[in-house]
Amino acid sequence: MFLLIALLIVVSIFLILFVAVPIFMEKLAFWQTSKEKKIEAQLDNLFYDKNPKQLVKLYFILPPILAVIGLIASRSIIIAAVGAVFGLFVPNMIIKFRNTQRMMKFNSQILDAIMILSSSLKGGLSLLQAFEVLIEEMPAPMSQEVGLVVRENKMGLPLEESLRALAKRINQDELSLVINSILVARETGGDLTKVFSRLSTTIRDNRKLKDSIATLTMQGKLQGMIMSALPFMFVWWVLTFNKEHFNIMLQSELGRMLLGVAIFLQIVGLILIKKFSIIRI
């Protein structure tokens, strides 16, 4: 009887796997294909010459590796699970990191690009010819993005639409200011050289103001960081001398209520400090 029950259980498991495994593999293949297409689009926007299949493979490679490392290092299943979950986020973190670095580099090139465009226009070139000079003079990512604008224009897309698409791709305030100024000047017949001169002055003044604000709000940010770390440091310091020091708080209803109030007030204080440290311009 026992052998019959065991045999039935084994057969049932085999049948379930026989049905479930193909469905699972089909779903996995569909997910992998859709993920590759999504990553390929993101890499194309970054002008990053990398096979998306290699990044998708990280979703299968990193979780078990990080789980094993976490298990060996801590002897804890919880840490291993955390490592596995963290491995699932690593490919997206890689893409976001490259995008952030690219946006920062692009933003640092805007003033130089404005100067090149202004000099080219003063030399008698058209705006499109000035863009071509900019492509030759500037490194990536500025040359890549402007090169895409020029290629789209040569394929028949109006320059205004290409510039709006560029502003949508990059999504930076300074670039939006430059592109809107170009579009308005082209519609009204304004002098682009004077526009670029005013833009460069405006962007420099805006950056100086942002740097001054960052310096002035540094004290509030440091205060928030210290206040957030201070309770944990205090608890750790007390527990090193007396591990039962907080038992009276945890065992009584009043103590637990006071701890809850303290945590709530701590969170409120951090939120208020963050609010007061943000100055929008």
Per-residue pLDDT of the chain (281 residues; tens, 9 = 90+): 666 666 667 666 766 766 677 777 787 778 788 888 888 888 888 887 778 888 888 888 888 898 888 888 877 788 888 888 888 898 899 899 999 999 999 999 999 999 999 999 998 898 999 999 999 999 989 999 999 999 999 899 999 999 999 999 898 889 999 999 999 998 888 888 999 999 999 999 988 888 887 777 777 777 777 877 888 888 888 878 777 777 777 788 888 888 888 888 888 877 877 777 666 65
- The answer to whether residue 207 is domain-embedded is no
- The answer to whether residue 208 is domain-embedded is no
- The answer to whether residue 66 is domain-embedded is yes
Clarify whether residues 175 and 101 are in a common domain: no
Q: Which of 202, 226, 261 is the last residue of a domain?
A: 202
- The answer to whether residue 23 is domain-embedded is yes
Clarify whether residues 97 and 178 are in a common domain: no
Clarify whether residues 129 and 86 are in a common domain: no
- The answer to whether residue 118 is domain-embedded is yes
Clarify whether residues 11 and 26 are in a common domain: yes
Clarify whether residues 10 and 84 are in a common domain: yes
- The answer to whether residue 88 is domain-embedded is yes
Clarify whether residues 97 and 156 are in a common domain: no
CB-CB contact of 164 with 158 (8 Å) = no
Clarify whether residues 23 and 102 are in a common domain: yes
The C-alpha atoms of residue 36 and residue 204 are separated, in whole angstroms, by 41
Clarify whether residues 102 and 22 are in a common domain: yes
Clarify whether residues 80 and 163 are in a common domain: no
| Close Cβ partners of 94 (under 8 Å, ≥ 6 residues apart) | 55, 58
Q: Which of 84, 106, 128 is the last residue of a domain?
A: 106
Clarify whether residues 18 and 90 are in a common domain: yes
Range of the domain at 99: 2-106
Structural domain tally of the chain?
A: 3
Q: What is the dihedral of CA 96, 97, 102, 108, to 10 degrees?
A: 120
Q: Which of 147, 173, 202 is the last residue of a domain?
A: 202
Clarify whether residues 186 and 140 are in a common domain: yes
Q: What is the CATH number of the domain that holds 126?
A: 1.20.81
